Structure 1
Amino acid sequence: MTDRPIPDDDWRTIVANVPIPSVDLVVRHDGGVVLGRRENAPARGEWFVPGGRVRKGERLADAVHRIAEAELGVDVRIEDRLGAYEHLYDESEVPDVDSKHYLAVGFVVRPVSDAFAPDAQHSALRLVEPPFPDLHPYVEAYLRDA
């Protein structure tokens, strides 16, 4: 697996031209689901499931654990694989690239501890319980399927 950063010019080319493989995590905890308020585009300001891109040579399950550690500060136990989701945004974090396309695989997970610590991509974490409040449509799709 490669974990070296993608140079900015290469990342711009990727975002402008191809879908990005990723994993998203429905984190079940204490009768609800853990969401993070996004600090970066796309979906800045939205309460969203943790997730991120899959690195070359990285297995999906390994990406799930890496992203849980990075974005939540905890390891997780994978309970279910929801399948593939297509996320299309009309914005991106890349200058002069006005859209972003993810091919995300959703996973249902449970944390192995309660010591959550959000990363810089999230201004806060919160637990939402059913009936779920109005959320981003992509989050609603995960919760409906989970």
Structure 2
Amino acid sequence: MSEEHPIPQDDWETIVDSVPLVSVDLVVRHGDGVVLGKRTNEPAKGEWFVPGGVVRKGERLDEAVHRVAEGELGVPVTIQRRLGVYEHFWDEADVESADGKHYVPVGYLVTTDADELAPDDQHADLRTVAPPVDGVDLHPYVRDYFVDAGVLSDGE
């Protein structure tokens, strides 16, 4: 059990195998762009994705946003607005026995004035990209967030 995973492994496996996970995903405006992290774990291992994490029991959504930003990026953020509720279905999971992972993320648009970002162990790298996000193959879930946040137009 770690700080990022306060649930014992056996319990985590049962949860992932049985129910959707409520999470927050963050579209982080930083400088002239938005932040993407290259994931080191499933789902979306090896892909550039927005920071995000599971909401803990008793934790308010806004509190989860701030905890995730501090934990995954090492910076404080200011919440601009809630983007909405999404559904993400993954064929992969960090639990071998699970048949994929099901998330119900609440998307947020946030900003940070921090000069430097500090990736956690879930990210091999962090990158601030400027729209139209040239040079990065955006996952469809990320594209949806960017369109809803006004970072990309629907046709980009």
Q: Tell me if structure 1 keeps the 8 A contact 2:26–2:108.
A: yes
Q: Deviations over 1:25-70 (max 9, x none)?
A: 0001122111000000000000000000000000000000000000
Give the distance between the partners of 1:5 and 1:143, measured in 2 at CA. 30
Task: Identify the residue that residue 54 of structure 1 maps to in structure 2.
Answer: 55
Residue 132 of structure 1 and its aligned partner are, at CA, apart by 2.1
| Cα separation, 2, equivalents of 1:79 and 1:62 | 14
Are 1:21 and 2:22 counterparts?
A: yes
Partners of 2:100 and 2:27 lie apart in 1 by 24
Deviates more, 1:53-62 or 1:6-15: 6-15
> SS of 2:119's equivalent?
coil
d(CA) in 2 for partners of 1:5 and 1:130? 36
User: How many Å apart are 1:8 and its aligned residue?
Assistant: 1.1
Aligned to 2:82: 81
Scaled by the length of structure 1, the TM-score of the pair is 0.95
The offset of 1:18, in angstroms, is 0.3
Within 1, Cα distance between the matches of 2:33 and 2:112? 12
Residues 1-146 of structure 1 mapped to structure 2, 5 A cutoff:
5-133=6-134, 134-146=137-149
Q: Give the structure with the higher percent strand.
A: 1
Question: Whole-Å Cα distance in 1 between the matches of residues 73 and 30 of structure 2?
Answer: 12
SS of 1:138's equivalent in the other structure is helix
Q: State the identity %.
A: 63
- Superposition misfits of 4+ residues, deviation over 2 angstroms: none
Which blocks of at least 5 consecutive residues in structure 1 are unaligned?
Answer: none
Q: Take 1:66 and 1:5, find their aligned partners in 2: how far apart are those partners?
A: 13
Q: CA RMSD in A?
A: 1.2
